[in-house]
Amino acid sequence: MKSKVLLVVGTACIAALAACDDSGGSVDATAPTVGSSSDLSSFEGARAGQAEMGIQSLGFELIRSEGLTSYWFNKDTGACAQITTSEGRYSDVNMLPSGDC
């Protein structure tokens, strides 16, 4: 009787866990957990060296740099970001009109 109860409980747990994944089974492991293809403001405070790959994986490419300020543009969304680096971190992240890139 005890093993039958464990089997029923185990089956119920597996069914409950399977129902938790509503992503359709397609999780992009390369996408960063912050930011989006149209807004990088959540990268403010991030370590510059580590965040750069995340920004690129969101479809942004570096357009130009002026001192410690870089301009990133996403061709697909038209998003433009102005990112200032200070002490190895993104100290200021501003989304600008696409023409500013």
Task: Provide CATH code, domain 38-101.
Answer: 3.30.310
Average pLDDT over residues 46-75: 94
Q: Where does the pLDDT of residue 50 fall: very low under 50, low under 70, confident under 90, or very high at 90 and above?
A: confident
Q: Return the exposure string of 74-93: e unless at least 16 CB atoms fall within 10 Å of the residue's CB, then b.
A: beeeebbbbbbbeeebbeeb
Window from 19-33, 36-50, 54-68, 79-93 with minimum mean pLDDT:
19-33
CA distances from 11 to 7, 14, 18, 53, 62 (A): 6, 5, 11, 41, 51
Q: Could you report the per-residue pLDDT of 90-100, keeping only the tens digit for each?
A: 999 999 999 99
- Please tell me the pTM assigned to this model: 0.67
What pLDDT is stored for residue 37 in this prediction? Answer: 81
